[in-house]
Structure 1
Amino acid sequence: MINNLKTGRILSIDAFRGITILVMIFVNSVAGVNGIPTWMQHAHGNEDRMTFVDVVFPAFLFIVGMSIPFAVNSRLAKGDSFWQLQQHIAWRTIGLWVLGIFMVNAERVNEAATGMNGALWALLFYICAILVWNVYTFKNKWITWCFKAVGIIGLVILGIIFRGGEDGTERLSPHWWGILGLIGWAYLYACIFYQLFKGLAGAIMLMIAVCIGYYILCKQPFMSQGEWSWLTSQAGNAAHTAIVLSGMLLTLFYFDEDLGLKGSKLVARVTGYTALLLIAGVMLRPAYKLSKIHATPTWCLYCSAICVAVFSLLYYLIDVKQVSKWTTFFRPAGSNPLLTYILPDIVFFAMLLTGVTLPAVLGEGLPGMLWCAFFAVLMLFLVKGLNKLGIRLQL
């Protein structure tokens, strides 16, 4: 064991994850609605501001960080060796990369060059992904591996036949990694740091500063030269890793029994941590504007501070005051984040393939926003139904 963490499900983390996924579905849907206010849109890359929409992705990164200590220590408690643990981390990372790359390219299929309807290609990808990452309960393991093998073979075939771009010459590639791919990079780096420094809170805080410093270094003029291209390409991943590590550190503050932070000590530590994040963000803002698009240090630090505050409120309500019945509504998303995340895309491509369209009024203003809110809630109920059918994804 690396840290002496509290055992059992942490309802406040599950609720935070569920709320974040629900809001993520909403903001992804509402992005296609015309006439929505600016505070419901991502800030542009050339602006020095952010909206609540720009906090959703970092909130998920933050939750990934909060979950890593529990996941790593759980596998160690079950008897995993060092190399078995690394294999598990590598499998999850590769899974996130693969899903991210396929999801990004699903939007740019050249049907003539691929020889397949773009929506059909996307749906086949999602079917294969479900086959690979579904949680099976067969007593005979060979049946499980047969399903997974079919899914893997399907992904390989879809990847080989894919052609994208206007001229149909582009192959399946990470021209950008997609949300899941970016999470994969940050998850990998955070897991390495967590193990390397044995879960020491002070070391994790130091690595947050190192990640921010790495981003700043990559933005210096002398780093724009060609020989530094690979290093500078990791600047955004370093910034995202800082957010993941911020979530990891908060988990240690709240749930590491060896730290012994309770009552006023816990409040003081968390308050000081939040203040430190905000002060660092303010100090860096003159040099680095607030921008999600560019993953700037100010954006990372402000979003981390917001996540600390939101989780602390949830922890107080759910774990301290035991006001937890309302969290059952978010449980499907909280316990099945991957399925909940990809489900809206599956619905979208199914509608595209079958020619089903929504009334024009649902793509405009208030009616569109209400529809997106209803759609997000509908996805939670659909996930719950799919769980009953034995479909539950886990990387």
Structure 2
Amino acid sequence: MKQLPKRLLSIDVLRALTMLLMIFINDASGVSGIPAWLDHAKETEDALGFADVIFPAFLFIAGLSIPLAIKSRISKGDSTGQVLFYILSRSAALLIMGFYHVNLEGCSPAAILPRAVWEILITLCFFLVWLDYPDTMAKGKKYTLTGIGIASLIVLAILYRGGDMVHPHWMRTSWWGILGIIGWSYLVCALIYYLTKGSLKLLITAWIVLVVTNISAHTFLDHDLLPIIGDVSAQALTMGGVVAIGIYSYLVKIEKTKRLWLLFTILGIGLITAGLIIRPYAEGISKIRSTPAWIFLCSGITILMFEFFIYLVDVKGKANWFKLIRPAGTSTLTCYLIPYFQVAFIELFNIAYPSILNSGIIGLIRSMATSLIIIGLVGLMEKKRLRLKI
């Protein structure tokens, strides 16, 4: 009986491209005179900017990876307890990092440590705690480095001060940050997948429930419908990826993969159409307000992109075309964290780009070059086994 391989190169390439664009968009946010369509749409706008498609694509791709990762753990002989620990520990890591990142936004100017210093130190601690240490390293050394990272994060939390001189406060969640949102979404969707034993019918049912819940939250119910996960927008996007890879796996299993092209095309176009239809009735299109139209449109776009890369990479074998950005697909979290060092050092040493490098098309070229340099650096780190295991 046939089945999908444990790792699909098409997913790695799609993830790499998405991470490249995420770094680029974040860097380009400081560039003046860029086209409005490239940026995020404002909260009050009924619109979809190019930047508004990147994060939902990442959530969808996370969903694509969940079944493959869990199946791999099971095939290695992991028990139920080990699989659940794997899911919970990955989720906890993302939530902790997201929690610290959110508090960067409100760091007080009067804090004991300057914001940039605190940012550099917490990022270093993330590497100490979640580094993919080689199996050949002595356990004592590994545990010591991990312990130093954990202890340092605790100390940095104690030293933290947010707010201002009049209204100081300790660390808190105004939201969970990008990594925290991924963490909660991963936790919910991975548990659903594992508890349903990957049943495609049950996964589709779960996806529909999440989508309907989001629609309800933006029509006649409160947006903050559920504790923490609110309108379940992130979970709906991630579960869309879980369902998509489930369909692909099923077609491989019954040896009907030729149907994939028609099914994914219909599904992608259908989701985009659904987004346009529901747009006037559920608060329009908005990433910031996580509306149903945004979810449908981004899911449809991403599944069509996934279909394209299945054909280009898995069928035609063109993975080498994307060799330059490969580390962004295999050491993705490392790629995401490195820019925090970049931003912190720029702030700490008050570095400013010449205006010509921070405006218009030249500024965008500089942002893309910066993104590629970061990915290249991560590629060098990957060769030295300096990558996070999350």
TM-score (norm 2): 0.94
Matched residue type, 1:86: L
Matched residue type, 1:314: F
Cα displacement (A) at 1:223: 4.1
Cα displacement (A) at 1:9: 2.9
Query: 1: CA distance between counterparts of 2:181 and 2:201?
Result: 25
1:306 counterpart residue number: 301
- Alpha carbons 2:73, 2:83 under 8 Å: kept: yes
Matched, 1:345 2:353: no
Q: Which runs of 4+ in 1 moved over 6 A?
A: none
Cα displacement (A) at 1:230: 6.4
2:206 counterpart residue number: 207
1:384 counterpart residue number: 379
C-alpha RMSD over aligned residues: 1.9
Change beyond 3 A, Cα 1:206–1:276? farther
1:261 counterpart residue number: 256
Matched residue type, 1:183: I
Cα displacement (A) at 1:218: 3.0
Matched, 1:125 2:122: yes
The residue correspondences of 1:106-145 to structure 2 (distance < 5 A) are: 106-112=104-110, 114-137=111-134, 138-145=136-143
The residue correspondences of 1:218-229 to structure 2 (distance < 5 A) are: 218-219=217-218, 223=222
Change beyond 3 A, Cα 1:320–1:220? closer
Q: How many pairs were matched up?
A: 386
Cα displacement (A) at 1:259: 4.5
* Aligned match for 1:148, one of 146, 149, 153: 146
1:336 counterpart residue number: 331
Matched residue type, 1:366: I
Query: 1: CA distance between counterparts of 2:139 and 2:288?
Result: 44
* Mean Cα deviation higher: 211-220 or 188-197: 211-220
Matched, 1:79 2:74: no
* Unaligned ranges ≥5, structure 2: none
Query: 1: CA distance between counterparts of 2:381 and 2:137?
Result: 21
Cα displacement (A) at 1:358: 1.9
Matched residue type, 1:44: K
Matched residue type, 1:136: Y
Q: Deviations over 1:210-262 (max 9, x none)?
A: 112112333455648xxxx66265334x1111111111111122234434331
- Alpha carbons 1:214, 1:235 under 8 Å: kept: no
Specify the SS of the correspondent of 1:231: coil
Query: 1: CA distance between counterparts of 2:256 and 2:59?
Result: 24
2:96 counterpart residue number: 98
Cα displacement (A) at 1:194: 0.8
Query: 1: CA distance between counterparts of 2:125 and 2:343?
Result: 17
Matched, 1:366 2:365: no
Matched, 1:280 2:274: yes
Change beyond 3 A, Cα 1:164–1:51? same
Query: 1: CA distance between counterparts of 2:164 and 2:2?
Result: 54
* Aligned match for 1:318, one of 313, 319, 333: 313
- Alpha carbons 2:34, 2:360 under 8 Å: kept: yes
- Alpha carbons 1:42, 1:51 under 8 Å: kept: yes
Matched residue type, 1:352: E
Q: Deviations over 1:345-382 (max 9, x none)?
A: 11110222233332232222222111101101111111
Cα displacement (A) at 1:96: 0.7
2:49 counterpart residue number: 51
Q: Deviations over 1:285-334 (max 9, x none)?
A: 22121110111111111101100111111111111122222121121111
1:193 counterpart residue number: 192
Cα displacement (A) at 1:196: 2.5
Query: 1: CA distance between counterparts of 2:37 and 2:102?
Result: 25
Query: 1: CA distance between counterparts of 2:372 and 2:335?
Result: 11
Q: Deviations over 1:128-156 (max 9, x none)?
A: 00001111114422211111111011111
- Alpha carbons 2:14, 2:306 under 8 Å: kept: yes
* Aligned match for 2:244, one of 250, 258, 261: 250
- Alpha carbons 1:253, 1:261 under 8 Å: kept: no
Query: 1: CA distance between counterparts of 2:254 and 2:299?
Result: 21
Q: Percent identity?
A: 34
Query: 2: CA distance between counterparts of 1:22 and 1:323?
Result: 18
- Alpha carbons 1:45, 1:293 under 8 Å: kept: yes
1:164 counterpart residue number: 162
